[in-house]
Amino acid sequence: VNRFGARLITPAVAVSLALASCQPQGAAPPAAPPPASTPPAIAPSSDATIAPPPAGVVPDAPFPTIQKRELDNGLGLYVVERRVHPLIELRLIVRSGSATNDDKPGLAVVAGELLKAGGAGGMSPLQLIEKAESLGTNLDVVTDRDSTRIGLNVTAGHLDAALEILSAVATRPAFLPVEFKKLRDREIERVKSSARGSAAWAASMVLYRELYELPTSVHPYSRYDAMPGELEKLTLADCRAWHAAHFVPSNATLVVVGDVSVDDVLAASHKVFSTWKGTPAPKPSVSNPFPPKERAVYLVDRPGSGQSQIYVGMIGPERKSADWPGLAVANQVLGGGVSGRLFQDVREKRSLAYNTGSSLVEVATGPVALVLSAGTQTAKAQDAVRALLENLELIADRSPTDAEVERARTFLSDSFLFRLETVGSVAELTSNLIVLGLPDDYYDEYRKAVRGIGVQNVAVIAGKNYDRTPIIVVAGDAAVLGPQLAAFGPVAVLNPETGFTLKRSFPKKP
């Protein structure tokens, strides 16, 4: 048993599947089709070049049908029947996440985890977790900016047992005080460890704080995670109040994917969820952040660190913008996977990073974030920042080539097939529709839009969205990096272990 198998296994390339989609036609690269009857043998000693086999016709695979129902109390059901394997994935999605913390960072994470860790449905914490784990599954509560997702998966025949657990956790948590204190302490330990041990965590804390900065109030997306002092102030009463306000049926959707029928799910969830009540949940108010006026560098100090984590970020369009498919293509050209410019240039040409790429950070309300990243040795961090900025400028200024756009379109469209292979992945995609407020036929429409977009259109959308003043965040050894990075803007050196207080600053080098 090695659930940490990746420890000794070192991949050559870290590939991230960007939000993708499927369908054919696209790829028509070089090569003449070989006659099917007499395949040309590859001559071992021949100098003749052998061309790659021609592209085939990619099979169509639309997103599976979502069958929607609603209980009388307003709880939504999204059911996807998929009977190829005797497996069932379940997610209870509550459309409130850390963006609803208000002035209590960490609240949604702690309250969400406490639903499980504090016992529920008349079961002690241990009884509850034993009940779930005896079914083979983990019971996970995942909190992101816009949602709390309680998830588990079981083999066919255990639908009722799984729903009983979900119902107990979501609607009848025990909130044991002693367990609250232990959980809060564990969270404090976790963030202290992250502050010291994780460059990515430390850089993200500052990146989102700066990207979503508001002059007089706190933007709900500006807090990536909580800090120890903030967690210490949380109370059990806060958790109870948050649960009462947000865990209400009209704010929740049950997603079930796999070897089930919609009628079975309806009947079984009626049994365990129909007495759940509550008034509509409050929604966080979101004002658009102001883009920075000048380029600035935030340097999170990690003394002695041999590698710097670099982010170059900016605010983008809303997730529901009509530009989204074009932006996804532009992002793919810039830094998606192994054929994007960042991988090819920053890694394969300039040898500046193992991990580099760009991503679109999706949020439910207001503008998303666009983030370029690289991890680079301290001595070359300045080169890597410059390389990211150069690529950012290029994607905004100069049109992507036909070949780049064609490759990105096909990849985004066709690699979507892999995201339909497992019930877990289909459950995640379905959940994302709910959280982001996208229509049921979104994925098929998105793939169609991606396939149909022209090079000119991509160039226009890239110009519109990437031609912005970026924020630069570097987590690394400030003693070495501070003077170097001042070439890119005024540098603020922050201490991740004291709540990101200002340690010192360097003026912009002329």
DSSP category for residue 429: H
Q: CA–CA separation, 464 vs 330, rounded Å?
A: 11
Given 156, 244, 267, 322, the residue binding another protein (CB under 8 A):
156
- The residues pairing with 437 across neighbouring beta strands, listed in sequence order, are none
Given 417, 436, 438, 487, the residue binding another protein (CB under 8 A):
417
Q: CA–CA separation, 35 vs 13, rounded Å?
A: 35
Q: How far is CA 146 from CA 208, 283, 371, 452, in A?
A: 15, 10, 19, 30
Please tell me whether residue 308 adopts helix, strand or coil conformation.
strand
Stretch that binds another protein, among 19-27, 95-103, 237-245, 428-436 (CB under 8 A): 19-27
C-beta of 14 vs 244, nearer to another protein: 14
The count of other CB atoms within 10 Å of the CB of residue 86 is 11
User: What residues between 463 and 482 interact with another protein by CB under 8 A?
Assistant: none
76: amino acid identity, one letter: G
Report angle CA 237, 239, 242 to the nearest 5 degrees. Answer: 110
Given 422, 438, 444, 463, the residue binding another protein (CB under 8 A):
422
Positive or negative torsion for Cα 333, 337, 340, 346:
positive
- The answer to whether residue 307 forms part of the interface with another protein (CB under 8 A) is yes
Given 32, 35, 42, 507, the residue binding another protein (CB under 8 A):
42
C-beta of 151 vs 289, nearer to another protein: 151
User: What residues between 73 and 102 interact with another protein by CB under 8 A?
Assistant: 83-87
CA 261 to chain centre: 30
First to last CA, the chain: 57
- The answer to whether residue 190 forms part of the interface with another protein (CB under 8 A) is yes
Given 406, 428, 444, 445, the residue binding another protein (CB under 8 A):
406
- The answer to whether residue 263 forms part of the interface with another protein (CB under 8 A) is no
- The answer to whether residue 171 forms part of the interface with another protein (CB under 8 A) is no
Contact 297, 489 (CB under 8 A): yes
- The answer to whether residue 50 forms part of the interface with another protein (CB under 8 A) is yes
C-beta of 210 vs 404, nearer to another protein: 404
Q: Which two tokens stand for residue 239?
A: 């958790």
DSSP category for residue 134: H
- The answer to whether residue 270 forms part of the interface with another protein (CB under 8 A) is no
User: What residues between 199 and 238 interact with another protein by CB under 8 A?
Assistant: 199
Binding-site size for another protein (CB under 8 A) equals 125
Stretch that binds another protein, among 94-102, 215-223, 289-297, 333-341 (CB under 8 A): 333-341
Given 91, 243, 246, 407, the residue binding another protein (CB under 8 A):
407
Residue 181, C-beta contacts closer than 8 angstroms, at least 6 positions apart = none
User: What residues between 55 and 74 interact with another protein by CB under 8 A?
Assistant: 55-61
Given 222, 331, 413, 432, the residue binding another protein (CB under 8 A):
413
User: What residues between 373 and 392 interact with another protein by CB under 8 A?
Assistant: 375-377
